[in-house]
Amino acid sequence: MRNNIVHFWADEQHYEIREIVEVAYKIKEIWKKEIIWENIWDPVIKWEKIPDWLKDIVSKATRDDITYAYSPSKWVDATRKFLAEQNWKITSEDIIFFNWLWEAINKIYGYLNRNARVLWPNPAYPTHSSSEATHAWSSHLTYELDPDNEWNPNLEEIENKVKYNPNISAILVINPDNPTWAVFSRETLEWIVNIAKKYNLFVLFDEIYEKLTFDIKDHILLKDIIWDVCWIAMKWLSKEVPWPGSRCGWIEIYNQDKDEEFAKFINSIYFSKMLEVCSTTLPQTVLPEIYKAPEFNKYLSERISKYKKNSDIVEEILWPVKWLKFVRPKWAYYLTVLIDDFLLVEDFFKDLKDKNLEKFVREISIWKKIDKKFCYYLLATTWICTVPLSWFNSPLPGLRMTLLEDDEQKFRKILEEIVFAFENIKK
């Protein structure tokens, strides 16, 4: 090429949840093994049957010609009205629909001034972090979540980072969090909001798992505690409906009227949405009917109770393993297990019996972090496909799996095999 055409931050773009799938497919194809998919939360692929009442709502809507048309740039009218009615703090003008989080995130970070940085949690869901780093052409700015404190942040660290880096213009909170499961307390959230207020920042709040917690008496939504700070809440159909293939989500914007600069920023996002015309019409159209359906809440609580049962099994099997570190999931989807790398033998691939398989995983593991190597080892010995924690920018090695498995015996076996794999390569 005549010029360097590659974006300075192109190497930031990785999606390990999918990349490890390519490795797993190779293993499946060459070694004829059935893979146990624990890398991604896709209920439909895993086991969940989409109930008939939900299918009926969607299929009825497909008979209506209007669902094949463009929709308004911000939203389908009836839907934004429905959402605004649920929440007295916003009007329907404060809602914008997107085709999935990636689009919303790209627009939010993309339309920030290059020097305006967002402080985000670590470990973090990388769709946020890589998009923010790409926007700023710079490495991440993070606050640590502490596994010894149930993955809560160190609040003083957040304040110090904000205080001494004047470019920080917003704080990202993912609550409940992926991959750690952390669900922040009222005090933590109030502290973060107060810092935002004190230093005149806005707060970005990803609440995709909002309806899916268990074992928590008092799950706090930011709208319950924020009054005058500018903030954006992100909501999606993927997890709670569950309809990940809809790629449909929306943002709610709070307190636009309190800050001219913030309102201008939101307007730039809205205008960029107009350039694209609109989001997909069908999922938006059926959203109110799905949420209003009398079956919805019962269906949701049935699903949550299954995840809770799996969380009990996690505790039963992993708790006695003293050298394994995990924090019991308090919400529905993921389990993060930390691996103490000092405990692992240096070359754990050499014990693989199939030497071709050993060669294969060894070659793809060169220069890779210890937890990624462990995930490959797990794949090659148990066919269980998980995601290394380092991909979530974590300084602590570990792996993340889901709590989706519906077959209790199978779920127990998955956990036991993971423990057994650790045992095998422990010093």
Ligand X SMILES: Cc1ncc(COP(=O)(O)O)c(C=O)c1O
| Chain residues in the site for ligand X (CB under 6 A) | 41, 100-101, 125, 174, 178, 206, 208, 236, 238, 244
- Chain centre to alpha carbon of residue 259: 29
CB 354 within 8 A of CB 363: no
Separation in Å, CA 397 to CA 175, 246, 252, 336, 380: 22, 33, 35, 10, 19
Considering the complex, what minimum distance in angstroms separates the CB of residue 309 from ligand X? 22
Q: Smaller CB distance to ligand X: residue 125 or 422? A: 125
Could you write out the DSSP letters of every residue in 126-178?
A: HHHHHHHHHHHTS---EEEEEGGGTTEE-HHHHHHHHHH-TTEEEEEEESS-T
Q: Smaller CB distance to ligand X: residue 170 or 421? A: 170
Residue linked to tokens 């052409």: 137
Whether omega before 294 lies within 30 degrees of 0, making that bond cis, reads: no
CA–CA separation, 172 vs 132, rounded Å?
Answer: 11
Q: Smaller CB distance to ligand X: residue 38 or 425? A: 38
Considering the complex, what minimum distance in angstroms separates the CB of residue 367 from ligand X? 27
Considering the complex, what minimum distance in angstroms separates the CB of residue 174 from ligand X? 5
Considering the complex, what minimum distance in angstroms separates the CB of residue 336 from ligand X? 12
Q: Smaller CB distance to ligand X: residue 178 or 256? A: 178
Q: Smaller CB distance to ligand X: residue 128 or 306? A: 128
Amino acid at 190: E
CA–CA separation, 203 vs 233, rounded Å?
Answer: 8
Structure tokens at 239: 């997890």
Structure tokens at 150: 């149930």
CA–CA separation, 169 vs 161, rounded Å?
Answer: 11
Considering the complex, what minimum distance in angstroms separates the CB of residue 238 from ligand X? 3
Run of H or E residues at 425: none
Residue 313: how many other CB atoms lie within 10 Å: 17
Q: Smaller CB distance to ligand X: residue 202 or 236? A: 236
Considering the complex, what minimum distance in angstroms separates the CB of residue 346 from ligand X? 33
CA–CA separation, 141 vs 156, rounded Å?
Answer: 15
Q: Smaller CB distance to ligand X: residue 311 or 365? A: 311
Considering the complex, what minimum distance in angstroms separates the CB of residue 123 from ligand X? 11
Q: Helices (DSSP H) in 137-170: which residue ranges?
A: 155-164
Considering the complex, what minimum distance in angstroms separates the CB of residue 237 from ligand X? 8
Q: Smaller CB distance to ligand X: residue 281 or 402? A: 402
CA–CA separation, 175 vs 222, rounded Å?
Answer: 9
- Chain centre to alpha carbon of residue 400: 12
